[in-house]
Amino acid sequence: MPSPTISAQKLHTEEAVELHFVDQLVTRQGWRERPYTAFDRKTALDPEMIEEYVRTTQPDAWKKLSDQYPGKERETLTRQVEERLKSVGTLEVLRQGITIVPGIKITLCTFKPASGLNPATLRAYEGNILGVMRQVRYSLRSENAIDVVLFINGIPFSTLELKNTLTGSTYQAAEKQYRKDRAPNGEPLLTFKRGALVHFALDQDNVSMTTQLNNGKTRFLPFNRGRDGGAGNPDVEDEFRIAYLYRDIGARKAVFSREVLLGILHRFVLVDEVEQPGGQVKRTTIWPRFQQLDAVRMLIQDAKANGAGQNYLFQHSAGSGKSNTIAWAAHHLATLHDDNDQAIFDTVIVVTDRVVLDRQLQQTIKSFAQTEGYVKPIDGTSRQLKKAIEDGAKIIISTIHKFSTDQLSVLKNENHKRFAIIIDEAHSSQSGKHADSMARVLADGELTEEEKEFDATEQALLELQRLRGPQANLSYLAFTATPKNVTLERFGRVGENGPEPFHLYSMRQAVEEGFILDVLRNYQTYKSYAKLEKAIDEDPELLERKSSRKVARFIDFHETSMAQKAEVIVEHFRRHALPELSGQAKAMVVTSSREHAIKTHQAITKYITDNGYTDVTSLVAFSGEITIDGQPYTEPGINGFAETELPRQFDGQTYNVLVVAEKYQTGFDQPKLVAMYIDRRLSGLQAVQTLARLNRIYPSKNRTYILDFRNTVEEIQAAFKPYYNVTQLEDISDPNQVYNLEARLKAFGVLDATEIDRFVTRFLQSSKRADERPVLEGIVRQAVTRFNENLNDDDQEEFRQVLASFLRFYSFIAQVVDLGDTDLEKLHLYGTWLKRILPTRQAPQGGDVTDDMLEMAAFRLQKEGEEQDASLGKDDNQALSPIDRFGANPYTEEESKTLTEIITSFNARHGTEFSEEDYIRFEAVNNDILDDDVWAEMLRNNDPRDVRPRFDAEFMRRAIQAFQRDNAMRNAFMQDQEARNMLMGLMFQRAVRGAGRAA
């Protein structure tokens, strides 16, 4: 078919874009162009195409129809299709077909089968007619025309309005046209559920979509590929940027290709039903956005080519519809076959950190399943999980913790089954002992012929070590918006810049596209000033660390400070946030503890009552029961309804402020949240995940508000930078560090190789018999005796830290690298027991400050400047550090040079011969500061310029105390101010780094 022609004068017009779009569908993807006159305005169908499809693919059904309704076959078929569209909707008709009296079953769309074992189904699939019409006059009331309508076998599923940027019109003008001039009422083609499933607004560069026209309230979502890490679409040679809709680009099929389009209709589009307050059910049709579609299709293509045994990391921004993407991925993997029509995976397992399973995730996956038992949520015990695996359930949803129980220890994968394991919110916990347990349950590893010659103990150790690493029968899919360093190394794929995600939808792209809001755009910080006085005459000796905490707590919980914060929160919410969303706006108050949440809720409630406000009502969320001042409190007891009811109650009209302690700071999806009031320290992942509760879009929600009483803008920006674009690592963790840790452990003189061998042999032969427990513990206690007798307090603490670091790092690195060293596995097995029974660090003796020692003389809460735009720029990024701190903070190359300079300079001035080892003794002073939780938090969460003077004073005090018996070192430190300042500058730099990075 020749390309359509158009006059040179019209090449720059919208018509040229429209003609090109349709021509490409026809010539590249095999669509059939239909005249707009074939469109029946009354039924919103193409009756000729419906008849042709049924005639050619179902001749027996058509004959029965002709016999029963001679001469009225097309009329009867069209009328029955129309009636069924009205009653159940377009999606259901396409998927389920219709039945006409007397029992004539008619399929209206045939989807590609998972395997090629049924040739008749494949022929019917190839017989689907993809139809496209231009300038469709769809209304019985006007001559309004839609630019392009897409049909499958005569049934319309999509409309498109195209604009042309050369004439100053963009996809946003098309969105406006849908809102103003495409009223759905009384129009079958535009009616939700009964008409087209999706409506696209596009120009040559950008695409957006909606699944429900609602006049001025219609909400469009981006449907773009992304450009240079942000919004938009990349250039395509000799084509429009939207060519991915109709043209195969590289290995990616066009969105409107037969394969992709019918796949979307078959196994992507879903209907979400949410019960509203009052019992009404809100229905929403979900069409995948491009990133979701692309991620699943890339996954399936890779899994089909490479089979099981692969790792996939999906870095998808918070608020990007991760639950649906996981559900689609699980459903596709469960039915994926190779070229020989063999299932690639026997079972897909979705695991999560959360103790309470994500009900939304369960329901989304189950909505695709038509077969009883196809999806098995494990909401009971591990016995239920064991049975689901043995019975061969296609999709299992469970917490990862259930893989660690004895019920599963006897389950051995002897049937060579293959598993796809989807990890929701993948972080370091998925790389530890629970992940080891899961691998041991599901893995299908075998010893080599050479290894089979080893003794039983060595074979068992090699098997345990191998099971920690990659398995040929296990594929891992990790989903997270904020991958940590261990997540990148465990699940990422090695690229030019080290481990990287298999698929990326960055926070930056989501913000630039307007799919999520930029929560940093309106950020206001407050600072509190308190003056305290002694309420007693005595000056008791106090413990500095505990006392500073108690003083801070006294200030935070004092009724004056609570009252002032409550006033700021309520007045700000009423003045700024509440008017948003026509009065439906919600707010979250983030507190530091359950007691803090309860007292904050009480203060807010008191302020509301005292001022007679009726437009603000608060709830509180926390776990369990807590006793405060002799009074027990629970969340249901305060709120007056069950915990499970809180999300629904908060979504209604009655409540609009939610005070939380840990709960609902992650995974809580409430798009009406407009404001957040932060009264706790936040950093790193916790800061990003907490603030992400605000980023969901909602009709007429254009901005958010954050008031922060504890953090600076710079601290929050620093937390966001690693995750704003693609997350990267500065360097790969060096696996050889595991041997450094092993050597450090042995140097303490606590471990005995003979005892380790005895322990491991007994442990592997014990078969978990209860009578072996005291024997095993008795062997390990010999090391505990040496620990108590031979090490001083500082050495004991260092041993604890190095042991913990070895256990964590080995558990991680063994999943990434084939170590092939049974001695390391022995030490890990033994060290795990040793760590459990080592005595804990003794708390220092001394007095403590109590509330009756203090009085609040004055308290002032002050706004710091005006509200700031703290948004990140497109180039803002911060690479994550590899795992390189283990119980101590190793020197970087720059720090080593600085230390050498300090020593050389001092020796030259004073004629001394101090070595690097002498000065590294100051490291113990630094470690002591970092071991102090108050100091570690201060260094981690404050501007270094503010902390430095206090750090110098603290370091000097501790250094003098540490070297009180070493006159030479103490004098060196005290007498040379220049060297002292350089040394403290170096130690401060290392302390800041050490406080923020841990293995």
What pLDDT sits at residue 483?
84
Whether 351 and 422 have beta carbons less than 8 Å apart is answered as yes
Beta partners for 130? 152
What pLDDT sits at residue 472? 80
Q: For residue 150, give the H/E element and its range.
A: strand 145-152
Q: 3-state class of 744 per DSSP?
A: helix
Which pLDDT does position 736 carry in this prediction?
81
User: Do the domains 288-505 and 512-748+791-883 sit in the same CATH topology, yes or no?
Assistant: yes
User: What is the reported pLDDT for 29?
Assistant: 96
* 512-748+791-883 fold: Rossmann fold (3.40.50)
Residue type, 755: E
Region class of 154: left (phi > 0), else alpha (psi between -120 and 50), else beta: left
Q: How far is CA 445 from CA 93, 433, 441, 448, 567, in A?
A: 47, 18, 11, 10, 62
Look at residue 212 in the predicted model and tell me its pLDDT: 95
Give DSSP secondary structure letters for 440-483.
Answer: HHH------TTGGGS-HHHHHHHHHHHHHS--TTEEEEEEESS-
Q: What percent of the chain has pLDDT over 90?
A: 40
Query: Residue 575 is encoded by which pair of tokens?
Result: 């003045």
How distant is the alpha carbon of residue 469 from its chain centre? 24
Phi, psi of 122, deg, nearest 5: -65, -40
Amino acid 998: pLDDT: 36
| Side-chain-side CA neighbours of residue 944 (13 Å) | 12
Cα radius of gyration (the chain): 33
Reported as a single tens digit per residue, the pLDDT across 249-260 is 988 999 999 999
Q: Where are the domains of the chain?
A: 8-267, 288-505, 512-748+791-883, 893-996
For 59-74, write each residue's pLDDT tens digit.
999 999 999 999 999 9
**Which residue positions in the chain have pLDDT lower than 70?**
1-12, 116-117, 274-279, 353-373, 401, 404-415, 426-469, 528-555, 730-731, 766-770, 841-861, 881-899, 901, 906-921, 931, 933, 943, 964-968, 993-994, 996-999
**H helices of 667-750, where?**
684-691, 713-724, 737-747
Label each residue of 501-570 as H, E or C: CCEEECHHHHHHHCCECCCCCCEEEEEEEEEEEECCCCCCCECHHHHHHHHHHHHHHCHHHHHHHHHHHH
Pair 588, 618: CB distance under 8 Å: no
User: d(Cα 973, Cα 960) in Å, to the nearest integer?
Assistant: 8
- In three-state secondary structure terms, 617 is coil
pLDDT (0 to 100) of residue 411: 53
Q: How many angstroms separate the CA atoms of 717 and 724, rounded?
A: 10
So what's the pLDDT on residue 464?
63
Domain 288-505 has CATH 3.40.50.720: no
Using alpha carbons, list the distances in angstroms from residue 628 to 48, 594, 595, 631, 946: 75, 10, 7, 5, 34
pTM of the model: 0.77
Sheet order of strands, 474-480 included: 375-377, 395-399, 347-352, 419-424, 474-480, 311-316, 503-505
Tokens linked to 537: 């005459």
Query: Looking at beta carbons, which pairs linking 954-961 to residues 24 or more positions away fall under 8 Å?
Result: 954/929, 955/925, 955/926, 955/929, 955/984, 955/987, 955/988, 956/980, 956/984, 958/925, 958/928, 958/929, 959/922, 959/925
Q: How far apart are CA 786 and CA 788, in angstroms?
A: 5
Predicted local confidence at residue 430, as pLDDT: 47
Query: What tokens were used for 285?
Result: 């049709």
Angle 435-439-445 from CA coordinates, rounded to 5° = 155
Position 454 scores a pLDDT of 47
Tell me the CA distances in angstroms from 772 to 460, 779, 825, 826, one per residue in order.
18, 11, 20, 18
| Range list of H helices, 817-869 | 822-837
Among 58, 62, 271, 54, which Cα is nearest to 154's? 54
Q: For Cα atoms 577, 618, 319, give the angle at the middle one, nearest 5 degrees.
A: 55
